[in-house]
Structure 1
């Protein structure tokens, strides 16, 4: 038995040696590769004997999400010097009004994210943060849609009142020729509103209905009958101040004067409302006053100013005379009878005008 074992021992040793040599040779034939692995831009140098890209990721404990991207197919064979890039999707929250959604994206900017949304985002809509902001994990994008609304504004245009002289109407008569009509401007305004705040406006339409002027005629026709304040009997309801009664502290009668520019006199004034032709031949009316021609020549232009609380009469012309207008007396025309009564008898400053 021993002789038989020794007989086969050399053969067994040869077999064992052969197996060992084959194993060593196999170990020497295993290929290792030097590659670079980038995960979201961070580089990892890898010395690996992995066969595929999938194996490399597995060996480096990199678990891919459904939205992650790899620049090679996972079954791609490993080649020495490869650069494997893994780009992970980031979480972005998009809020639009009452709606909120979570988006996983590889986009670089907010504008890129908006371009892929199901909703239309116009250039006028307000986006926060700005559209050129870089996308990072956890970013919240708020979209505020612009609301466009229109409103109509009406504004009245006041009409003007135009006075014309009518020589067919009796002097002192007032007649409405045409009733005025208010105009109207209708404006349609378009407002762009974000979060209840008007950010811009524009006029989209405007219609204007022009006002119609009111026309009032004042009669200028006078019957060709001479009526002068020089007559003794006053014409009712004219009021002629009673100058026969003495008045305390009445200014002294003025001396007769020539028409000299700038001459100033203080005179006693009364008021009348006779309608007719004055002694100088012109119709009586506002600005026509009666004087004593020995004191102020007819046709003289005057400036009559009040020295008390009564409003100043203003510029006038010496156009009439009167039996009661003697010396330092001047009689002023007013249309209204009650105004004449209220005026009574006052001292006024009279300046001769050029």
Structure 2
């Protein structure tokens, strides 16, 4: 008889403590049980709904686990899970929101408690440049399942240059023997300089507008060609049939002088009729005629022979009669 009285008294005391939100075990009209009195009554508010539970757990974390309440990354609990559980305690669960964040085309998913898009970016350590774009706006409210996109926008002034090759102008000189020539003026290449304003979005060109163009005209190279009577000394090229003519800078060399060997790059002896060339301009093995020198073959190379240059070989017993300078040569094949 004493047990029943004690149970009824305890139930009445709890009912007066809980008030109108008392657990259903006390408000349904059924007789309270000793197991109800041994368990601790507590409530959880999750997503706006208040639900009462009974547990023998002593901490908030254990009570949540026994109630089957799963917490994801970013979810917040108050009081915290390590707090002691007391009768009538209401535990608040604030669920984090799932958000997909896209920055410069890179996607990642995260969970956040931040209220606005701007606060979310701050939480993730993402700063915005003056032209960067954010969608939704930074003051937009973060919602579950939202996609937040940050596009990096940059502006740049780009300068492009185009070289305009210098033309070659020829001037005939009757006082200079035919077959001889020299460069009177080197001239210079021209330049076209274009200025563009370029808009980049996530590192890719989104817009390109030319804002200015500057032009520096080329200056012609002037080559003086001999138009006078040819000098006949066994090296004339008059009357020959040729495929093309080139104006080159011509020097001479001899074996045994300044470290020059006695054999060419192609294995021939260094002697009259051998010419060192740049193979990128004149292929080895090419036959040619050099006014004032005669018929020759491109059979040698040299470290100092680059571009439109040739080096005329003489045997060691000959005193060269060549004067270094520009000359128009004739390619035979």
- Structures share a fold, TM > 0.5? no
TM-score, reference length from structure 1: 0.35
TM-score (structure 2 length as normaliser): 0.37
